[in-house]
Amino acid sequence: MHSDALRYRLRGRGGHMSGKLHFEDFHLGRTFDCGPYRVTREEILEFAREFDPQPHHLDEDAAARSMLGGLAASGWHVCAMTMRMFADTMIPLMAARGGSGSREARWMKPVRPGDVLRVEATVAETKQSRGRPGIGHVVFECRVFNQTEQVALVFMTPVVATRSAA
Amino acid sequence: MHSDALRYRLRGRGGHMSGKLHFEDFHLGRTFDCGPYRVTREEILEFAREFDPQPHHLDEDAAARSMLGGLAASGWHVCAMTMRMFADTMIPLMAARGGSGSREARWMKPVRPGDVLRVEATVAETKQSRGRPGIGHVVFECRVFNQTEQVALVFMTPVVATRSAA
């Protein structure tokens, strides 16, 4: 299922401070697997009630008549789920200071109750900071798959990473 | 505070079905005011625990040492808050079928407990669907301001709108 991507496993090499990955470790094309995330009906409804109270995220009948074709999570909820998967895997690994935004988020397939999501986060761009030599920007392309290997969401997200010499 | 933008108020004209705004009504530059949204510490922590458990969204001391300079909401939480403001204003107004993603989201300023946010959603692009004559795409530029008129978040979001002839 993950045959064509370069896979990373932390090998406890201890080469860098605390064994974390720094800016220099994020080579273009390197891919990190995050997840899984199991989606429940209750959380779809809860998020929608709080943040995205459109009928197609709250009501089965309205959802069936909508372009979603049935109850589905808010796209912003799927982004939040993705953040959780990314955080669970990457925060322990990465000497990071936080994200600064996202680019080109496209909700490709509805995310439904019972779906099981995973993320492939691939290093798409890296850029050393000119003004701040201790940091660099790593842009991840995050592809979110459901349990049938359909891509549900794609976006790019830049993360500020510490350089190992810092 | 809103002096330079074209402001819209629904005037109960009833010109279109249900008095809602259709694709043709979204002229370039038209701006809609959404909000306010009052941000609480409890909801910042709750969202972070569920979706973005990074120390600078969960812990005052860690946040003070981070690039945020103090406890601040997850950027994805701010996106969700913005969705809520947009939904509260636009769903009652708009013959819309839903969103399809977002572009160029930039978290410009930290959003902190006690902040009061508002959104200016400006029509930045419109495009009639070639394949589906009954709909069109309206791209809103959403600028999220805090109570001191700093821009906290900017992003573009495309919404599928029904044409009035449909």
CB contact under 8 A, B87 and A54: yes
- Looking at every residue in chain A, the average pLDDT score rounds to 87
pLDDT at residue B10 greater than cutoff 70: no
- Measured CA to CA, the distance from residue A52 to residue A102 in angstroms comes to 19
Find, in chain B, the residue whose alpha carbon is nearest to that of A43: B50
Is B166 at the interface with chain A, CB within 8 A? no
Angle, nearest 10°, between helix axes B41-51 and A75-93? 70
CB contact under 8 A, A101 and B81: no
- Pairing mode of beta strands A151-162, A135-145: antiparallel
DSSP chain B: --TTS-B--------SGGG-B-GGG--TT-EEEEEEEE--HHHHHHHHHHH---HHHH-HHHHHHSTTSS----HHHHHHHHHHHHHHHHHHHB-EEEE-EEEEEEE-S---TT-EEEEEEEEEEEEE-SS-TTEEEEEEEEEEE-TTS-EEEEEEEEEEEE-TT-
Residues of B in contact with A81 (CB under 8 A): 51
- For residue B3, what pLDDT band results from cuts at 50, 70 and 90? very low
Nearest to A107 among B56, B66, B100 (CB): B100
Q: Per mean pLDDT, which range of A36-40, A130-134, B97-101 is the poorest?
A: B97-101
Burial of A74 from C-beta contacts in 10 A (0-12 / 13-18 / 19+): buried
Find, in chain A, the residue whose alpha carbon is nearest to that of B108: A100
Both tokens assigned to B66: 């981070």
pLDDT per position as a tens digit, A99-151: 888 888 999 999 999 999 999 999 999 999 899 889 999 999 999 999 999 99
Instruction: Quickly tell me which residue has 């001191």 as its tokens.
Output: B148
- Pairing mode of beta strands B101-107, A151-162: unpaired
- Measured CA to CA, the distance from residue B166 to residue A102 in angstroms comes to 34
Contact A155, A103 (CB under 8 A): yes
B-contacting residues of A 66-95, CB under 8 Å?
Answer: 66-68, 74-77, 79-81, 83-84, 87-88, 91
Is B53 at the interface with chain A, CB within 8 A? yes
Inter-chain Cβ pairs, chain A and chain B, closer than 8 A: 99
ipTM for this model: 0.87
pLDDT per position as a tens digit, B107-157: 999 999 999 999 999 999 999 988 988 999 999 999 999 999 999 999 999
CB contact under 8 A, A47 and B80: yes
Residues listed for chain A: 166
CB contact under 8 A, B76 and A79: yes
Residues of B in contact with A102 (CB under 8 A): 75, 102, 105
pLDDT at residue B17 greater than cutoff 60: no
- Pairing mode of beta strands B116-128, A96-99: unpaired
Residues of A in contact with B38 (CB under 8 A): none
* Number of neighbouring beta carbons within 10 Å of residue A105: 26
Query: Whole-model pTM above 0.90?
Result: no
